[in-house]
Structure 1
Amino acid sequence: MIKNKIRHWTKRNFLLGVSVLIVLLILSIVIAVAIGSTYIAPREVYKAIIYKLTNGLMYKDTSDAMVMAIIWEIRLPRVLLGALCGAGLALCGILMQCVTKNPIAEPYVLGLSSGASCGAVAVIVLGSMSSVGITSITMGAFLGAILTGILVFAIGTQLGRTSSTTRLVLSGMAISTIFSALTNLLIYVSPNTNQAKTALFWTVGSLGGAKWEILLFPFIIFCIVMIITFFLSKSLDILLVGDTSAIILGINVKWIKVLLLLLTTLLTSALIAVTGSIGFIGLVVPHICRTLVGSDHKKLILLSSLIGAIFLIGSDVMARGLFPPLELPIGIITALVGGPFFLYLISKKNYSFGGNETC
């Protein structure tokens, strides 16, 4: 067996890479806001955003009120939601792969997306189209995801008494199947074709419902999870060497896994509730970043969040721009782009989970 050594970024290269990614993220936000049914020059977008952020102290000669409304009230919330969702799903993917020590684990491995879809579709199909709004659908999705998380945790960990990842994943798969069946049943019996179409569109993800008021809750959850995860980064590094070794090194494996599961469930639920199920980001992005920085979770978390945000912003631009004025569900774009790239990644002979050397 021939081993090929993977060269990871040095500290200097890492800092340079993060700086470049931050600049790319800012540029991608400005460009994504500029692109739409009505094109707005990036310079006008930049001036409008600075004008709003400085409360009118800078760029007082900015665009007219209609252009300002398009930028600030419609496009910018959508782009920022995409960045938040991409960063959050990438972070959740890292946590799930660490907890399960499974390279194909992703945020939805516990069935949270199926539970959220079931909750949202139940609100859409069982409610009146005239009374059901984005807030009701979001709440239904959030409650569905939380209920799924509680069931998986209770069954998969026996209320915290076991840390078996196999039992946890199998419980998630079983519960996901049940909720998927209920979702399909609700769509099938829906008497209104518009309801069924809305439900199907929601299950493959969309950023179309983005508003400033719905950004705050997932943003707060993301910040909390990010901070806690940074503090636990050393423990995450140790978990990858195995539960037995981690216990010998003084890590409370059961407590750490339970905490990570709770954090992942909370963040994933908050994101799915406002965007629907957007796949592949939590699977592909962490693997891309491991080829660059290895399994150092402090670097991995920051890098994955930035790349995840940029990736989803770009995917949303493609979803809006490929077949105008038709808007594709963003989950289709992430799957079509992420799937082939992931196949290429795993076909590399020098790649393995955690960024270690392999044949």
Structure 2
Amino acid sequence: MEAVAQNTKSLSKKKGFFFWTLALSIVLLAAIICAIAVGSTYIEPGVVYKVLLNKLSNGSIFEINWNVMFENIIWEIRFPRVLLGAICGAGLAICGVLMQCVTKNPIAEPYILGISSGASCGAVGVIVLGGISTLGINSITTGAFVGSMISGALVFAIGTQMGKSTSTTRLVLSGMAISTIFSALTNLLIYSADNSNQAKNALFWTIGSLGGAKWDVLLLPFIVLVIVMIIAFVMSKSLDILLLGDDNAIILGINVKLVKSIILILATFLTSTLVAITGAIGFIGLVVPHICRTIGGSDHKKLIILSSLVGSIFLILSDVVARALFPPIEIPIGIITSLVGGPFFLYLISKKNYEFGGKD
């Protein structure tokens, strides 16, 4: 009887996970259509749907009876922006799952290693020191990526003693120290800006935006995201065991140092890639994993899938609010994610039955 009960419970969990995956996928598609439709020029969702199908099928499924300008707005401006939002939201959420697992810290997030501070310092340095006029607009992205990789490498080298240490405390403290140093350098650069436009551009970038979305910038973050998701999915059993503690993981045959090093490198590279394009968008990597644990428990295979869907939806809808709240002015998206994510996170941690790792 006990075996039957366990099988029934397991089947019920699978059905629940399938339901949530299907429901969130539908919501994601609806969010994409909504985000493309809303803007300074409103476009009917039906037109958005038809234009996308025509473009994606490389044919003429629907007869073109709409303004050609709408087609250009949808395909060249809004669709790349929405796709970047989906990629960035999924990536930050998955990095949050990985960092919370490695550090076993419920408030860990992708930026805990100082990656966002390093990226901000690199980008602001390019803006303030005049690198745009010398190297072009892509120099901001390059500067951000270089800064984020430097900060990530420093934290990895110091916090893990080049992979020799598994101390979570040492890693987190190293991240905090490096983050503080790069933040101070960023503020110093902003303070030394020659004019208010430089300071404004620098500040806008540090809070995050999807405004730089173009077709040619989507490929790299998408490839990195897919690679990280596949590797994390393959290592999901090891991630589950890590939650039991390092000593128990070693007893069960897990090479803790190797697993942690791989996860840290993956999370650092993915976060650096995303932050270099969109700037520092906060709270997604912190809030989304907790939302998904309340849905699917602490199984990392489920968490990776659910987090990617919820993260995409969250960032896409946040961008809609950022663009639609005070048109035609665009609010930095990091402000919206923090305003929405902060209170929701407080609600989650105020629940009496809330525990890190969720319920099985």
TM-score category, normalised to shorter length: over 0.9
Once the two structures are superposed, the pairs formed by residues 82-161 of structure 1 within 5 Å of their partners are 82-127=85-130, 130-131=133-134, 133-161=136-164
RMSD: 1.4
Partner of 2:240: 237
Distance, in Å, in 2 between the alignment partners of 1:128 and 1:216 is 25
Aligned to 2:250, which of 232, 247, 258?
247
Provide the rounded CA distance (Å) in 2 between the counterparts of 1:17 and 1:155. Answer: 40
Q: Residue 207 of structure 1: CA displacement? A: 0.4
1:49 and 2:57 aligned: no
Segments of 5+ residues of structure 1 without an aligned counterpart are 1-6
Using the alignment, how far apart are the partners of 2:172 and 2:60 within structure 1? 53
* Partner SS for 1:208: coil
1:75 aligned residue (74, 78, 92): 78
CA gap 1:62/1:89 in 2 versus in 1, 3 angstroms: farther
Counterpart residue number, 2:299: 296
Pick one of 324, 332, 335 that aligns with 1:321.
324
How far apart are the structure 2 equivalents of 1:129 and 1:254?
Answer: 41
Q: 1-side partners of 2:23 and 2:207: how far apart?
A: 31
| 8 Å CA contact 1:134, 1:209 repeated in 2 | no
Question: So what's the TM-score if we normalise by structure 2?
Answer: 0.95
Percent identity reads: 69
Counterpart in the other structure of 1:191: 194
CA distance in 1: counterparts of 2:320 and 2:215, whole angstroms: 19
Following superposition, the deviation at residue 57 of structure 1 comes to: 3.5
**Structure 2 residues without counterparts, runs of 5 or longer:** 1-8
Deviations 1:102-138 (A, max 9, x none): 0000000000000000000011111155456441111
CA contact (8 A) 2:131 2:139 kept: no
Report the residue type matching 1:174 in the other structure: A
**1:298–1:62 Cα change, 3 Å:** farther
Counterpart secondary structure, 1:10:
helix
**2:291 aligns to what SS in structure 1?**
helix
- Residue 4 of structure 1 is matched in structure 2 by none
Number of the residue aligned with 2:5: none
Runs of 4+, deviation exceeding 3 Å: 128-134
Equivalent residue, structure 1, for 2:277? 274
TM-score (structure 1 length as normaliser): 0.95
Provide the secondary structure at the position in 2 that maps to 1:136. Answer: helix
Q: Deviation per CA, 1:37-60, whole angstroms, max 9, x where unpaired?
A: 000000101111111111124224
Query: CA-to-partner distance for each residue in 1:120-171, whole Å, 9 max, x for gaps?
Result: 0011111155456441111110111011111111111111111111111111
C-alpha distance in 2 between matches for 1:62 and 1:88: 37
User: How far 1:339 sits from its partner (Å)?
Assistant: 0.2
Give the Cα separation in 1 of the matches to 2:173 and 2:286: 18
Alpha-carbon distance in 1 for matches of 2:65, 2:103: 51
Between the aligned partners of 1:272 and 1:344, the Cα distance in structure 2 is 27
| Distance (Å, rounded) in 2 between the aligned partners of 1:122 and 1:187 | 8
